[in-house]
Chains A and B, each alone.
Chain A
């Protein structure tokens, strides 16, 4: 196949990529979507190999084998609870790949490289390298290798922005002096530093937005490479990915009522809560035992389970499903209320509950479930916190104010399972704890639910 014939398989791959996203819109066709994208990728790779025959097929085979040997065990063995960190890790791999190809293309072209090409390449490399370290830190935070709390220090915004500034300045220098190849690794170094500093200052609960932004960067870099190489397939596939990540990031930050800038530089959870300690008003919560909850559930006709990241941490999705099965066996209507930013990546809760074989028609999005809370007898909050805080609606001085929440407080009774009275990620006290219709049950989510089930079976 020569280089002009390759356009036809590329065209086919582009169509398949577009169709795959179209088919991802609903569960029914989603697997077809995944297969379409897989086919598109295979077509793209084979066509490229045939059209651009490399002399070093041996090294290529080694690279394919290494990639498969690393990728296959991850794909096979990865527990669903670890999907957010694996997503962060794959963003790291993908963005490093894009950055390295950018560098390779520079060394390949130099000294015959025009200003425009080098400008795009430099921007692409900066984006790729910063996404690489950013994703590595996101991975480390999600995996629990380092603290999920934002690293806060005086002048952190200045520090991270100046590292980006230096990287950009070096890029400009390189564009003006294309032969000064030694600049490239230094520029890469500052881009790497920026990604590191940027994500170190962001906390765990903001990861849904951060992961989505990093997703978008990897796509945009690939599209930039496509522009440099005049390769339409790269442009379209990269751009689709970039748009997807960007849209998800927007939708996440909207669900938290925060701007991108606020997510990236706001450092929520970083500030020590004002008025803690002695100044705080002593308020009482009503602590209950599982037997009390079992009694309330005996008289319930409708129950909503509201999961959050705590459910993922304590792997409570299976017991939650078991509880739901028991309740349904008694003729009680059970639904799950899912907040868009519950968990550590977009859609995290849905995957965990699907893993526990919860049918997806029981998973209700926030907007739909909110209208049902006034008619709901019992809401069981499992490991969620900030996303249920009524202060987001009522207290204009709260950092959460304006964030759409699951309005669980409108239900007749709220059962709130919580490890301790410690505030959630945002370090904001939850108003819900002190409402008269809230029953606090302290303990690990999985343990409490298991005891609750035992108590219900007894009674």
Chain B
């Protein structure tokens, strides 16, 4: 039970921290921010890997493997696209 309370506390604290951090992100970068946080949310791949450790039956294994593939797609494309977008942002003096 205490583990749950600690975890909920971490969740709430991280949410506050996240809001404060995002509040300071310039509107200019809201699109790359979203593609970055989308890649970050693919951290669920970690959960899939843990469930895959000792899968009880092939259904569990199948679901976890599909989840790993889906999350990998997002990880690969998410960071890459974010990098491509960010590279386009230039100041006036840098373009001339």
Q: Which A positions have Cβ atoms within 8 angstroms of B?
A: 17-18, 20-22, 24-27, 30-31, 33-34, 37-38, 40-41, 44-45, 48-49, 52-56, 59-60, 62-64, 66-68, 70-72, 74-76, 78, 80, 83, 86-87, 90-91, 93-94, 96-98, 100-101, 103-105, 107-108, 116, 211-212, 215, 218-219, 221-223, 225-227, 229-248, 338, 340, 345-348, 350-351, 354-355, 357, 359-363, 365
Bound form: Cα–Cα A237–B50 in Å: 16
Shortest CB-to-CB span from A376 to chain B, Å, is: 19
Bound form: Cα–Cα A80–B83 in Å: 12
* Cross-chain contact B32 with A359 (CB below 8 angstroms): no
* Cross-chain contact B27 with A27 (CB below 8 angstroms): no
Q: List 9 A-B contacts (CB under 8 A).
A: A37-B79, A66-B72, A71-B73, A80-B85, A100-B66, A101-B51, A222-B41, A229-B50, A238-B41
Number of B positions contacting A (CB below 8 A)? 85
Q: What is the count of residue pairs linking A and B with beta-carbon distances less than 8 angstroms?
A: 364
- Of A41, A70, A345, the residue contacting B42 (CB under 8 A) is A41
The prevalent SS among residues of A at the interface is: helix
> Sorted from nearest, which 7 A-B pairs have the closest CB atoms?
A67-B72, A243-B18, A347-B30, A71-B76, A75-B80, A346-B30, A239-B14
Given contacts A59-B65, A66-B72, contact A348 B77 (CB under 8 A): no
Given contacts A72-B80, A236-B10, contact A247 B26 (CB under 8 A): no
Q: Which residues on A sit within 8 Å (CB–CB) of B45?
A: 45, 97
* Cross-chain contact B76 with A68 (CB below 8 angstroms): yes
Given contacts A226-B7, A230-B3, A241-B40, contact A67 B92 (CB under 8 A): no
CB proximity to A under 8 Å, residues B15-37? 15-19, 21-37
* Cross-chain contact A212 with B34 (CB below 8 angstroms): yes
Q: Which residues on A sit within 8 Å (CB–CB) of B60?
A: 104, 107-108
Q: Which residues on B sit within 8 Å (CB–CB) of A360?
A: 28, 89-91
Smallest CB gap from B93: residue in A: A359
Bound form: Cα–Cα A237–B38 in Å: 10
Q: A231-B47, A346-B30, A354-B85 are in contact. List 9 more A-B contacts (CB 8 A).
A: A55-B53, A60-B65, A107-B59, A211-B34, A236-B10, A237-B43, A243-B18, A350-B27, A357-B88
* Cross-chain contact A97 with B42 (CB below 8 angstroms): yes
Given contacts A63-B68, A67-B70, A359-B91, contact A242 B18 (CB under 8 A): yes
Bound form: Cα–Cα A93–B92 in Å: 37
Q: Which residues on A sit within 8 Å (CB–CB) of B3?
A: 230
Q: Which residues on A sit within 8 Å (CB–CB) of B89?
A: 27, 30, 354, 360
Bound form: Cα–Cα A244–B27 in Å: 13
- Of B31, B74, B86, the residue contacting A34 (CB under 8 A) is B86
* Cross-chain contact B63 with A103 (CB below 8 angstroms): yes
Q: Which residues on B sit within 8 Å (CB–CB) of A22?
A: 21
